[in-house]
Structure 1
Amino acid sequence: MLLCAAFLGSCSSDDSQQKEVLQLWIMPNSPDPTADMQHVLRNFELENPGIEVQVTVLDWSVAWTKITTAASTRSGPDVIQMPTTWAAAVTAMEALMPMDSLIAVSGGDSAFASVSMKFARPVGVQQATSVPWFLDVRPLYYRRDALAEAGVNPAKVRNWDEFRIALEKIRKANLVIEDQHIDPIGYPGKHDWNVIHNLAPWIWGAGGDFLDSTGTESLLATKESINGILFYLSLVRDGFNSRKNLSKNTNQVSMDFDEGRLAFWFDVTNKTLYLDSPRFLGGSSKNVTARNYSAMLPPVAPEGKMPYYFAGGSNLSVSRYTKHKRAAMALVRYLVARPDVQLEIARVMGFMPALLSTYEYPFFKDDGKRDVFQQMVLHLRSYPAVPYWGEIETEILLRRFGNIFDLITSSPEKVWPEKDIIAEIRAADKEVNRFIHRQREASR
């Protein structure tokens, strides 16, 4: 009764009374997203017997359309998983509840990862419209056995130059382990949803960026941004990453790593769930990669610049049109502000907590892989929190970089189309600036 009163003001102990039903929309964040989320919510429903939470999992291919449709039609769920790069656009639709009071009672802005708080209050917005939930960071996974056989010490792969040296050693070693030839690295190309996320650390590492700090001007055509892009693509030019991978998506190249065909692979932290789980749960815990993998910090630019690692992830928002405001706010607070719950989310989803106090648990401090993930959280960076970023990313940059991958794959093996690549980057820069200008004119 005390817990119920604390969350909702009053409730009845009569089991026959109809429960207050909350609708929660999430994305497929784990191997079994519905069951995993229900597991996380079990204690919330036990502590609040007057509330039932119904979980709906939205596939990523339809999530944006469903969320924006719900916002524009004043319908949809009570609580919504809000991918960080979507937060500004949905906020601009004025369909989300202010969350400042919940953040304040949860420890304030400093209780959460600052990179996620940027999206909680998008550019030009005074009130928070979401609360940080979890972080998507992307370490560099590697095969211990492959590196050892090639004479590569992972502790000495710290910057881009050392990374290239390691890749060259692996290529020259012509490794075959358990009847499987091993390429140095793989990353996907045109047919992938992670293209911009994959490029971001290299652009930032070279001192470049996508947009300026106000989100009003493209920086893609700066020397620094171009240098970062060209370095990333040089891994294809120099034969470390097969041109064939540029026609694959993340799942396909990830499977290549799982099945022993790659020595290095960038991926999200929940990759560990699949590598450590048995096959009957959808994992690959007994194959050669699962027996021999570790994770390390991604290499940084050699000029001594500050390391910046890509940060994605999701916040949680409450619909302005909910009929269950108190219960919805209580659910969000349970999921974001309790270290024990954040820890359980990390266990079942594999992502990193947005609540910083969660990192005090031995779960993070006493595991070599998770310790690497935790170090990355200190140097995270993401895109500007402007409402039109989603369209820039999906409608312009994915298409333009798809053109770049086409230039590479259509060129003869020994021909590298660098001038054409740079021309395409500059064309993307101009298109982004035109798009931003139209968006700003329309909002005046």
Structure 2
Amino acid sequence: MFRVLAVAAVTVLAISGCAGGGDGAKETVGYAADQPPVTIDFWYMPSGGPLQEKAVAEEAKEFHAAHPNITVNPVRIVWEDALTRLSTASASGEGPDVTQLGTTWVGGFSRLGALRPYTAAEIDAVGGQTAFTAASWSSSHLIGSPDTTAMPWLVDVRALFYRTDVLKAAGLDAATAFATWESLEAALQRIQATGGGVAPLAIGNENTFGIIHNVAPFVWSAGGDLLDTAGTASRLSEPAAVDAVHYYQRLVARFNDPQVAKMINNDVPAAFAAGRGAVTIDNSQSVGDFLADPDRPGLRAGWGTAPLPAGKAGRFGFLGGSNLAILKDAKHPGAAFEWVRFLTGKQSQQRYAVSTGLWPARSEAVAGTRLETEPAYAAFREMIGHGRMYPSVAAWIVVESVIAKDFAELWHAPGELTRDQVRSILAKTSADIDETLADPGRTGIGE
């Protein structure tokens, strides 16, 4: 169940904001209460099952109560079909008014000109850039473009989960065991020796896209990066990236549960809760799941969360998630903006994001919720401050596919690889990425 807050009726829904140019002109944004009734289509992709579907329906009801002349028609799209359907809709002009977008899709759809840029007045109306988690705003536009084409909505933030009983048996304190690369590896070795048959790690190796999200923080904390700052060339063959990937591959080869290794990432949380592995990497949604159903073998004796370990360049974490975009051919752009403004507002963020276990992109929405008070969320609160998103390049969908394909050799190796072997794989990956980035029109959408 989630809490439904009453929303006061809004007398005047259009607000004024300064338009660009400094000439004192005013720009009206939104959809005024005296405008005729309209229905807008909203495409969304639930990753949390029925709970998220129910939450979207409730938000649509709350919104309509405050905006009687706007009806939202939520349309559920599965993630596996979303890219193709959005590509087709963008080309035909027959898509929704508002759509959820994965943060890594923003660059590609922006390059195609499929999204309607938010005006300066609209950005001001939602509180401006500073209202959102700093890293989230980097996914609001195509890299190098002045146009904001997607508004941050939900954040995928990750941290370590661990079994307190296994750590206690190994004589480990989570505060120090997971602090650095060195202490993490030493802790896993200790668990392997004293864990009573529980594998130190639970990491799925079959979903190579998800694995990238686990590896990237280690690359950043080693002082490396995936691409250069302009998003025009790979940096994966540089020494820092090689060090990070070699370290991560070693951990997986030495300490991973062999059955979990054959799983896709989405199946790992349930395996961890069922008792497989002492340590895993997962997002904040699993906190709510574990709290709701704690009577499982891997959870009964206690579990906790911890920030990802720091490398020589500091502590970093992967941030993903979803943004909200208005399509270029939206039939009711003013009403569409009202829906975006509502979903990114504090009250909706607290109801929807918090109730589903996702992290709100709006920073102030955390205050006074269980995300602020529940101890198991503490690691995620810290990781938000250390989070980075992938560069919002037009071809990121293709770049990610290249990394997933080439990195498969790392995860399917029969054991630990040498640094030279890892460097050779990353050199090929970098060359493949550079070839992709050399085509300025490449987006991976509709290709």
After TM superposition, is the score higher than 0.5?
Answer: yes
One-letter identity of the residue aligned with 1:365: E
One-letter identity of the residue aligned with 1:167: L
Q: How far has the Cα of 1:386 moved from its partner?
A: 0.8
Q: How far apart are the structure 1 equivalents of 2:428 and 2:108?
A: 25
For the pair 1:318 / 2:319, whether they are aligned, the reply is no
222-231 or 253-262, larger mean C-alpha shift: 253-262
State the match for 2:428 in structure 1.
Answer: 427
State the match for 1:178 in structure 2.
Answer: none
Question: Across the two proteins, how many residue pairs are aligned to each other?
Answer: 416
Q: How far apart are the structure 2 equivalents of 1:96 and 1:22?
A: 16
State the match for 1:58 in structure 2.
Answer: 77
| Identity level (%) | 26
Q: Which consecutive residues of structure 1, in runs of 5 or more, have no partner in the other structure?
A: 176-180, 278-283
The structure with the greater share of residues assigned to helix is 1
Q: How far has the Cα of 1:251 moved from its partner?
A: 2.7
Quick one: which of 344, 358, 381 aligns to 2:351? Answer: 344
State the match for 2:17 in structure 1.
Answer: none
One-letter identity of the residue aligned with 1:114: A
Deviations 1:94-135 (A, max 9, x none): 121121322211221111112111121221321111111111
Q: How far has the Cα of 1:48 moved from its partner?
A: 1.6
Q: How far apart are the structure 1 equivalents of 2:395 and 2:380?
A: 30
For the pair 1:30 / 2:45, whether they are aligned, the reply is no
State the match for 1:165 in structure 2.
Answer: 186
State the match for 2:303 in structure 1.
Answer: 293
Counterparts in 2 of 1:263-274, with a 5 A limit? 263-274=278-289
Q: How far has the Cα of 1:217 moved from its partner?
A: 1.0
Q: How far apart are the structure 1 equivalents of 2:261 and 2:387?
A: 26
Deviations 1:235-258 (A, max 9, x none): 133x21145544321133322201
261-270 or 46-55, larger mean C-alpha shift: 46-55
One-letter identity of the residue aligned with 1:300: A
One-letter identity of the residue aligned with 1:399: K
Q: How far has the Cα of 1:146 moved from its partner?
A: 1.6
249-258 or 144-153, larger mean C-alpha shift: 249-258
State the match for 1:9 in structure 2.
Answer: 32
State the match for 1:40 in structure 2.
Answer: 59
Deviations 1:127-172 (A, max 9, x none): 1111111111101111112211221111112111111121111111
Quick one: which of 345, 354, 360 aligns to 2:367? Answer: 360
State the match for 2:159 in structure 1.
Answer: 139
Q: How far has the Cα of 1:306 moved from its partner?
A: 2.5
Is the alpha carbon distance of 1:430 and 1:134 closer, same or farther for their aligned partners in structure 2, counting shifts above 3 Å? Answer: same
For residue 252 of structure 2, give the secondary structure of its aligned residue in structure 1.
helix
Q: How far apart are the structure 2 equivalents of 1:156 and 1:41?
A: 45
Counterparts in 2 of 1:58-77, with a 5 A limit? 58-77=77-96
For the pair 1:104 / 2:120, whether they are aligned, the reply is no
One-letter identity of the residue aligned with 1:401: F
Is the alpha carbon distance of 1:77 and 1:241 closer, same or farther for their aligned partners in structure 2, counting shifts above 3 Å? Answer: same
Counterparts in 2 of 1:9-408, with a 5 A limit? 9-11=32-34, 19-32=37-50, 33-100=52-119, 101-157=121-177, 158-175=179-196, 181-237=197-253, 239-277=254-292, 284-291=293-300, 292-301=302-311, 303=312, 305-336=313-344, 338-394=345-401, 396-406=402-412, 408=413
User: What value does the CA root-mean-square deviation take over the aligned residues?
Assistant: 2.1
Is the Cα–Cα contact under 8 Å of residues 138 and 269 in structure 1 kept in the other structure? yes
Q: How far has the Cα of 1:2 moved from its partner?
A: 6.2
Deviations 1:44-74 (A, max 9, x none): 1111222221212221211111112111211
Q: How far has the Cα of 1:346 moved from its partner?
A: 2.4
Q: How far apart are the structure 1 equivalents of 2:175 and 2:360?
A: 26
Is the Cα–Cα contact under 8 Å of residues 97 and 327 in structure 2 kept in the other structure? yes
One-letter identity of the residue aligned with 1:257: F
Is the alpha carbon distance of 1:245 and 1:425 closer, same or farther for their aligned partners in structure 2, counting shifts above 3 Å? Answer: farther
For residue 183 of structure 2, give the secondary structure of its aligned residue in structure 1.
helix
Is the Cα–Cα contact under 8 Å of residues 34 and 55 in structure 1 kept in the other structure? no
Q: How far apart are the structure 2 equivalents of 1:46 and 1:290?
A: 41
